[in-house]
Amino acid sequence: MVKPVTVIGGGLAGLSGAIRLARAGWDVDLFEQTGRLGGKMNEARQHGFRFDTGPSLLTMPFVIDELFSSAGFQRQELLTLAPLDPMCRYFFADGSRLDADSDTAKMEQAVAQLSPADRGRFVRFMAYSRAIYEATAEVFLFTPIHEWKKLLHKRHLPTLLKLPSIDAWRTVHSGVKRFFQDKRLVQLFDRYATYNGSNPYQAPATLNIIPYVEYELGGFYIKGGMYRLVEALEQTARALGVRIHLNQPAQEIITQNGRVAGVRVNGELVRTDRVLCNADVVTAFNQLLPGMSSERRKLNRLQPSLSGMVFLWGVQQRHAQLLHHNIFFSADYRREFEQIFRERLAPKDPTVYVAITSRFDADDAPAGAENWFVLVNMPYLCPGAAEPDVDSVRRSVLEKLRHNGFDLSGRISCETVITPRDLEQRYGGNRGSIYGISSNSRSMAFRRPANRSRAVRGLYFAGGACHPGGGIPLVLLSGRMAADLIIERE
């Protein structure tokens, strides 16, 4: 008998889960509220420029390789991955710079050139980061940790015995400071807490796993743009029989006696007793599940992640001093995060991220021009608080760039802006958050919403707001976990 299941949302996690379910023989309908799949991983085109609008770096490529392989496809036939070398150019407030390289010998040399007193310390830091990965990956990245029978399986016992070594009681910042004397290097490695939308001065040092993932496992770009991953996932899903319905917003998850009974989509009732929800967990309980007041209160107490403001600029000039990925740091990193998380203000001196994919794919911009994706971290939206002012943020960004020798006056020929409110309304990000839930507490790994709802039977979650977290590989893994739980409980 064919088993029906409904997927709400066509982001990476929803597509990942739909592919797994279809491959296992389930009858899958996927409903996406917009006219395009991909969620925050999307693209925009304007006046001859192409922009990625979301993630710009791929790590842990074996995750997507395994996903396509499990579906009967070979990733190499669908996507071409290119290692980024160097991965990022860092500009510090004092005028110095560093090119981060996945070749550890080159990176060690770059660290030593920036700070001779820190010679040899990058290697020791990477050994520390690797130890966290080896102690946590099997349990925290590849296992639905809220499922106690899975967590306590005998194959996980060696990993569980290593948990005291994951450095959960220090913060990211204090963990990094143990290794580096130079404040610029501390700032560089503190930045990795923002990969899941967290504050390095509050988030547990366990997040120092991320440098190992990036430097040792590598950082990659997808030829033709990151959105090619979405297109490859869509092609795979359709080939397996997934029915994809665009411009079909889910309005309510119908429950009866504590169990899923259907989904109201665009005014029509779709009967189903299993739902894989790729919407933000908090948003889903606030908007799609009437009642559930206790669960809603609990989820709304969780601190959202960073939000952001994005400028997509067509720049009528080439800049040989810039790489594919560039970071312009603030002068006072701690103050920047205090303004974002404590004062809920746009930072006065923001750290600015600039990605220029035309450095890799020349067709992404007209001849002699560049496509700039510019991201500034912002506070999540708060009731009664003023929203970040676009003009003010733009001025801050342009001033930071000008201070570093990049004057864009009269050079920006087209602009698209994505604000925290856009992230909330367009993609359902809780309070405009990019990464779902922040990790600004020691226990957040266990408090992050589970892939299987305990409040509603037959309801499963996948995406950055639930386990194991945000970022391309993790949301794909969350889709796998949710799908596997559905299949196992049949």
The predicted-structure confidence for 178-222, as pLDDT tens digits, reads as follows: 999 999 999 999 999 999 899 999 999 999 999 999 999 999 999
Give a yes or no: residue 59 inside a domain.
Answer: no
Give a yes or no: residue 194 inside a domain.
Answer: yes
Residue 154: its pLDDT value, please? 54
Give a yes or no: residue 19 inside a domain.
Answer: yes
**Could you tell me the pLDDT band of residue 354, with boundaries at 50, 70 and 90?**
very high
User: How far is 225 from 61, CA to CA, in rounded Å?
Assistant: 15
Give a yes or no: residue 47 inside a domain.
Answer: no
Same domain, 203 and 117: yes
Q: Model pTM?
A: 0.95
Residue 153: its pLDDT value, please? 56
Residue 489: its pLDDT value, please? 77
User: How far is 226 from 148, CA to CA, in rounded Å?
Assistant: 36
Residue 1: its pLDDT value, please? 57
Same domain, 177 and 149: yes
Give a yes or no: residue 431 inside a domain.
Answer: no
Q: Domain boundary at 182, 214, 246, which?
A: 214
CB atoms near residue 48 (< 10 Å): 15
Q: Domain boundary at 214, 244, 278, which?
A: 214
Domain count of the fold of the chain: 2
CB atoms near residue 130 (< 10 Å): 16
Same domain, 114 and 202: yes
Residues 430-447: pLDDT tens digits? Answer: 999 999 889 888 766 567
Q: Which CATH number fits the domain that encloses residue 479? A: 3.50.50.60
Residues 278-313: pLDDT tens digits? Answer: 999 999 999 999 989 999 999 999 999 999 999 999
Give a yes or no: residue 146 inside a domain.
Answer: yes
**Could you tell me the pLDDT band of residue 142, with boundaries at 50, 70 and 90?**
confident
Same domain, 189 and 210: yes
**Domain containing 141: what range?**
108-214
Cα–Cα separations (whole angstroms), residue 187 to 34, 132, 315, 344: 38, 20, 29, 21
Same domain, 192 and 231: no
Residue with tokens 């067709």: 363
Residue 139: its pLDDT value, please? 73
Residue 138: its pLDDT value, please? 78
**Could you tell me the pLDDT band of residue 403, with boundaries at 50, 70 and 90?**
very high
Averaged pLDDT, 451-470: 94
Same domain, 298 and 444: yes
Phi–psi pair at 144, nearest 5 degrees: -70, 95
Give a yes or no: residue 247 inside a domain.
Answer: yes
Same domain, 196 and 135: yes
Cα–Cα separations (whole angstroms), residue 172 to 14, 197, 211, 314: 31, 13, 11, 36
Residue 42: its pLDDT value, please? 96
Same domain, 234 and 287: yes
Same domain, 204 and 266: no
Residue 158: its pLDDT value, please? 64
Q: What percent of the chain has pLDDT over 90?
A: 86
Same domain, 112 and 195: yes
| pLDDT(144) > 80 | no
Same domain, 121 and 194: yes
Residue 293: its pLDDT value, please? 92
Q: Domain boundary at 214, 244, 259, which?
A: 214
Same domain, 137 and 284: no
Give a yes or no: residue 156 inside a domain.
Answer: yes
Residue 163: its pLDDT value, please? 62
Environment class of residue 112 by beta-carbon count within 10 Å: exposed (0-12), middle (13-18) or buried (19+)? middle
Task: For Cα atoms 437, 195, 344, give the angle at the middle one, nearest 5 degrees.
Answer: 55
